[in-house]
Structure 1
Amino acid sequence: MSIEATLAEKGITLPAAPAPAANYVPFVQTGNLVFVSGQISQDEGGLIKGRLGDGMSVEDGAAAARRCGLSLIAQLKAAVGDLDRVRHVVKLTGFVNSTPDFTDQPKVINGCSDLMVEVFGEAGRHARAAVSAPALPLGVAVEIEAIFEVA
């Protein structure tokens, strides 16, 4: 089944690929690798702001990470055109806006990791880092960058 068919079957709609917010490009392809710049947590209603460990639940953080994942896939589609060219989700690096005592960053970033496996199957399994940050751009809850291998 094609990736587009998988998205449709699962009722997943990709957002428009977000424009860069500063002096950088949204993705760079070198050889068969596509590096997608960090995508911040946002949805149709705007930015998803908050701080894990200070009023934001792990579940809300995971939902914010999933939204980052949707933006990552949208950027990837803008980069390569056809998502069926994806051979592997190589690595995710997730940043979680959290308090110093919050330790569930991996559970938050699972929101994105689970999406990658849901969309790309076994090719969606990846290496990963999930780290805390005392603040993220614009006060968002999560930011995630990715590396993809394409044909």
Structure 2
Amino acid sequence: MAGRVEARLTELGIILPQATAPVANYVPFVVSGSSVVVSGQIPLADGKPAYTGLLGDSVSLEDGQAAARLCGVNLIAQMNAVCEGDLDRVRRVVRLGVFVAATPAFGDHPKVANGVSDLMVEVFGDAGRHARAAVGCASLPLGVPVEVEGLFDIAP
């Protein structure tokens, strides 16, 4: 029988990808007690960047939000690995750090970050409400426009 979160993902039409392996000298997540820190996830689909470029230049606000949402799907995939397929163990999305590659004049970083924030609430309900930082930067790995890291609380 599917869990509550798995049923919600199905209802939303979201199929979780396999959690991606790190490409450098780090681990995809660290579990410490009931806390899980997930390393930054970029908008990969089928192992390739689904979005590239800068907000305020070649990437629209809507595409930035979609990229952030895809980062969130990849965060949830990592959490699925942490929880060995039982996402009902996620008690809380505690914090998201959203990095937005943008031109100096771009100022809608929080609107881009809403792409992932909205997803977490859609998937986890009130447990998906979180603290957040949305930070602009000059560039991100592989030329993607958004990267998101997360802090979660899980049940044993």
Q: TM-score range by the shorter chain?
A: over 0.9
Alignment of 1:1-151 (within 5 A): 2-44=4-46, 46-47=48-49, 48-81=51-84, 82-151=86-155
Q: Check 1:59–1:45 CA distance in 2 against 1; reply closer, same or farther (3 A cut).
A: farther
Q: Secondary structure at the match of 1:92?
A: strand
Contact 2:52–2:59, Cα closer than 8 Å, also in 1: no
Normalised to the residue count of structure 1, the TM-score between the two structures is 0.97
Normalised to the residue count of structure 2, the TM-score between the two structures is 0.94
Runs (4+) off by over 2 Å: none
The amino acid across from 2:82 in the alignment is A
Contact 2:43–2:70, Cα closer than 8 Å, also in 1: yes
**Number of aligned positions between the proteins:** 151
Quick one: distance in 1 between partners of 2:70 and 2:46?
A: 10
Post-superposition Cα deviations, 1:44-81, rounded to whole Å, max 9, x if no partner, equal 37202110011211000000000000000000110122
How large is the Cα RMSD of the aligned pairs?
1.1
The amino acid across from 1:25 in the alignment is V
Structure 2: runs of 5+ lacking an equivalent: none
Structure 1: runs of 5+ lacking an equivalent: none
